[in-house]
Structure 1
Amino acid sequence: MSQRDPRLLFVCVALVACDTTAAPSEPAPLATVAAPAAIPTAPPTPTPAADRTVLAAEAPPSEPVKPAPAPVVKGHNAELKQALGRSINELTIDLQRKLAKQPGNLLFSGMSVSVALAMLHAGASGATERELADVLHLDGLTGDVHTALAHLAARWNHPSAHVSLVTASRVFGDRSHDFKPEYLDLTRKVFASPLGTLDFAGDLVGARDHINGWAREETDAAIDQILSPEALTAATRLLVTDVAAFKADWLEPFDPKATEPVLFYGHQRKEPVPMMRSVQRLSTTLGLAGKLRLLELPYRGGEYSMIILLPSTRGGLEDVEKGFDYERLQGWIDAAKPAPIDLQMPRFSLDSTLDLAPVVAKLGAARVFDARRAELDAMASEKKLALEAVHHRARLTVEERGADGSPPSAIEIAVGGAPTSPTPFLVDRPFLFYIRDVRSGVLLFYGRVTDPA
């Protein structure tokens, strides 16, 4: 694509942390992850006066600086929401398969990618729309798919005392370009993403700084930067950003006093890593004819959980990655039964920066990246408008921080009145995990840990 051709850029940025209860006075979320731009259920927090002045100068007179909360329609098609949740999971597994050959640790949010591509799908037509629908697994779905997806995402915007997920979304367009009012109305009302006009061609640095500043403000500085210097060019015409803050406490905190160095047999090397330990009752099962063990570790409140897939052998991760699909994964989750478990898992941090454009193209949506063939006429009238890149960044920290108490003093748990020795579950080899919304069954995040150190 030449520098004269306008381009469309999606940026997904994700950070997430899993630990124990944080002090109530902490001002910043423990984690953020790129998430759907959900319909808010309460008026948004007022923007500081300084930022309101900047946005007012950028926005057309007819555009409000902050959109009014879109109404949440009660009783929206439950079957459609369920089907969309499955679609998100199918895309997550598709991305997992395509990225399986990439070496090392990996982290992404299929949920975030689904919503970003859905906003693009809403502005597409013809073969481009059909390709995106196929990638998003929307074929055969009837009804207002985009509104239903936004309503599904809205359920993740209800913070509790132990789990909080707050999303923010924004569409930034070049001030010299005219986008169709119908599309902007849809992104504002359905995806809660109003248009912010910036001067990409005349002040590229200022545009980038403003977007990064927006992300910092929305996430209370948890996300410092979402755009690198090379992410934008003067040819940029539309940029869609999506950020969120996620905070969760373990249902049963890990005690730091029980954490000890244990040898981890990674892909690159074997070395001692800080291994957390907790004896508790957890759901577990076998899969792939005994080639893996599944364990579900819940967060406080029971609405979210981490699903861990541990290969039975130290070199079995490759077989696990390519040996199942969503149907099998869901079957294993459904088959898991509570049992006393002596869990040992490493403390670890992940940081993945991905360009998902080649993956999305290989999944079947190649046309949208070709300025000669992309059909985005529902979004804008200008020809040669195409998707340039799908950037995704994710960070994750799993630790026992905040717990205070004594290590487990016994290795037996009373079950049915009789003491039972807990089954060891030692995560000392490369493994996979998902962070899951238990209520909807949606897989919010996927991760692979090959070297936790």
Structure 2
Amino acid sequence: MRAAEGAETRGVSGEEDSLSEQAETLIDVEKRAERMKRTTFLLLFGVVLSFCDAQSETGGEEAAGEEEHVELFTTPTTKMGAATSDFGYNLFRALASRDASTNVFLSPLSVSEALTQLSMGGSEHAQRQLYRALRYHTLQDPQLHNTLKDMLASVRTAGKGLSTAARLYLARRLRLKQEFFGLVEQQYGVRPKALLGGSKDVKEINDWVSQQTGKKVQRFLTKPLPRAAGISVVSAAYFKGKWTTRFAQSGGLENFQVDGAAPVHVPMMQQDNYPVKMGVDSDLGCTITQIQMQDDVSMFIFLPEDVTSNMTLLEESLTSEFVQDLSMTLLPAKVSITLPVLKLSYSTDLLPLLGDLGLSEWLDNPELEKISTQAAKLISVNHKVTMETAPEGNQYPSDTTPSHLTYRVDRPFLYLIRDETSGALLFIGRVVNPKSLSI
């Protein structure tokens, strides 16, 4: 009788998953059509570039001939990069929607890693719920953990400028299962930590995060973790990549326009005849620029036409496929470019956002049966990021003649840092007022 009930339950669950997957397929078709329309706008921008920079003509012709859809992600690593990126875009949207008028920053990979560690302690049903939120259900990868581990090792190589920390901290009084500790350590090289609670634990966590990020992320926690007998997720990241082509830093401060307030004065870096890839998306009302960094990392900057802190439409458009399309359709140009010098630190608890990713039911009953013999819940998902940009690079511009095109990032903008090899989203941020940023 119980077996029949179980089979019926699995059948219903399978039907729900199938309906959900069908709905997602329809959404993907709609998104693909929208991407094709945006690509047309980006290609039309080549006409403008051809008048300003003769080098754009060849790039425009090549891009124009590639409008047919091709499979963008063909290897386990690039599929994993797409999945972790889409999780990151979803999480960023949830975070950004809290308040449209604030600076927001996120490094999704460290969060993905920590929640993937947590998934190893759940029942099959709980794991399936977490995988859907993490976008792993699209992968069909039997070696999922190995693929993620290898990708993480690749994006954390020294030249890319990224260091991350991801770990689970567990209340000791949960009657923990030691097998889980060894399972996570074997796969990800970091052992979950049992804590007693209190100020000593704050020092323990802060010291570990500092060590993992080369002492760049300091004071991860400023107060003790909640005293509830539960599980805390810790994720942190530091990024300081180097440009392929260096900038000249201006001597003084320059104006940065702020929505609904007086301009603020911030340090800027500037360079004439700077090589970028560029396009205009008239649907989103923004200019998109891709700037190459060292070791196959690049920065995408989305600069709205107007001074506005409301970038909801732009934020909603971001997917791994859209950004991959951009990397193939943006056109080469040389511009007189001006960028703010960024130095920032940002921290938040992401736990309240997980419900927006479809995890409300899971949060109520996470079924972490492989971690503890007692019912254990997630009590915090603390995340902190630190990032710096600086003028240095390993090449000088080939020509310093003043450029025909000018690109000034002197108003609120959105940016992302992407690993070109895997397609993984390393960092994403919305800069509304750089004056309020600090390390």
Contact map agreement 1:128 1:367 (CA 8 A) in 2? no
What corresponds to 1:299 in structure 2?
293
- Deviation string for 1:78-116 (max 9, x for gaps)? 832222111111112212322333231110012222111
Paired residues of 1:125 and 1:375 also in contact (CA < 8 A):
yes
| 1:381-392 superposed matches below 5 A | 381-383=373-375, 385-392=376-383
Question: 1:151 deviation in Å?
Answer: 1.5
Q: 1:217 to 1:397 in 2, by over 3 A?
A: closer
1:157 aligns with 2:156: yes
Give the counterpart of 1:444 among 416, 426, 436.
426
Q: CA deviation at 1:194?
A: 1.6
Q: Higher relative CO (CA 8 A, sep ≥ 6), structure 1 or 2? A: 1
Q: Does 1:363 align with 2:345?
A: no
* Greater helix share, structure number: 2
1:214 corresponds to which residue? 208
In 2, the alpha carbon distance for the partners of 1:248 and 1:324 equals: 22
For residue 19 of structure 2, what is the aligned residue in structure 1?
none
Determine the structure 2 residue equivalent to 1:262. Answer: 254
In the alignment, what sits opposite 2:114?
A: 116
Please list every run of 5 or more consecutive structure 2 residues that lacks an aligned counterpart in the other structure: 1-72
Query: Within 2, Cα distance between the matches of 1:287 and 1:393?
Result: 32
Q: Cα 1:356–1:268, aligned 2, differ >3 Å: closer, same or farther?
A: farther
List per-residue Cα deviations over 1:134-193 (Å, max 9, x = no partner).
111111423022222111111123224xx4444455444444544334322221011111
Q: Measured at CA, do residues 263 and 228 of structure 1 come closer, stay the same or move farther in structure 2, by a change above 3 Å? A: closer
Count of matched residue pairs: 356
- 1: CA distance between counterparts of 2:74 and 2:176? 33
What CA RMSD, in Å, does the superposition of the two structures yield over aligned residues? 2.9
Q: Tell me the equivalent position of 2:86.
A: 90
Of the three residues 117, 131, 134, the one matched with 2:132 is: 134
The answer for the alignment partner of 1:427 in structure 2 is: 409
Q: 1:254 touches 1:403 (CA, 8 Å); kept in 2?
A: no
Tell me by how many angstroms 1:237 deviates: 4.7
The secondary structure found in structure 2 opposite 1:274 is: strand
Aligned counterpart for 1:345 among listed residues 339, 343, 347: 339
Q: Distance in 2 between matches of 1:340 and 1:402?
A: 17
Q: CA deviation at 1:381?
A: 1.9
Cα distance in 1, alignment partners of residues 430 and 90 from structure 2:
15
Q: Paired residue for 1:227?
A: 221
Q: Does 1:190 align with 2:187?
A: yes
**Preserved contact between residue 231 and residue 380 of structure 2 (Cα < 8 Å):** no
Decide whether aligned partners of structure 1 residues 392 and 182 sit closer, same or farther in structure 2, where only a CA change above 3 A counts: same
The answer to whether the Cα contact below 8 Å between 1:309 and 1:432 also exists between their aligned partners in 2 is yes
1:106 to 85, 104, 107: 104
The residue identity in structure 2 corresponding to 1:443 is L
1:278 deviates by 1.2
2: distance between equivalents of 1:290 and 1:426? 18
- Residues 206-242 of structure 1: per-residue CA shift (max 9 Å, x gap): 2222222233344443233222224242x34544434
Equivalence for 1:309: 302
The whole-number CA distance in structure 2 between the counterparts of 1:380 and 1:273 is: 51
Checking the alignment, whether the CA contact within 8 Å between 2:201 and 2:224 is kept in structure 1 is no
Give the TM-score taking structure 2 as reference length. Answer: 0.73
Partner SS state of residue 221, structure 2: coil
Distance 1:174-1:389 versus aligned 2 partners, 3 A rule:
closer
Q: What secondary structure sits across from 1:89 in the alignment?
A: helix
Q: Kindly, what percent of the aligned residue pairs are identical?
A: 25
Tell whether the 8 Å contact from 1:353 to 1:394 is kept in structure 2 after alignment. yes
**Cα distance between partner residues in 1 of 2:236 and 2:256:** 33
State the TM-score, normalized to the length of structure 1: 0.71
Select which of 237, 244, 252 maps to 1:251.
Answer: 244
Residue in structure 1 matching 2:389, options 388, 394, 398: 398
Aligned-pair distance for 1:324?
Answer: 4.8
In 2: Cα distance, 1:338 partner to 1:296 partner:
9
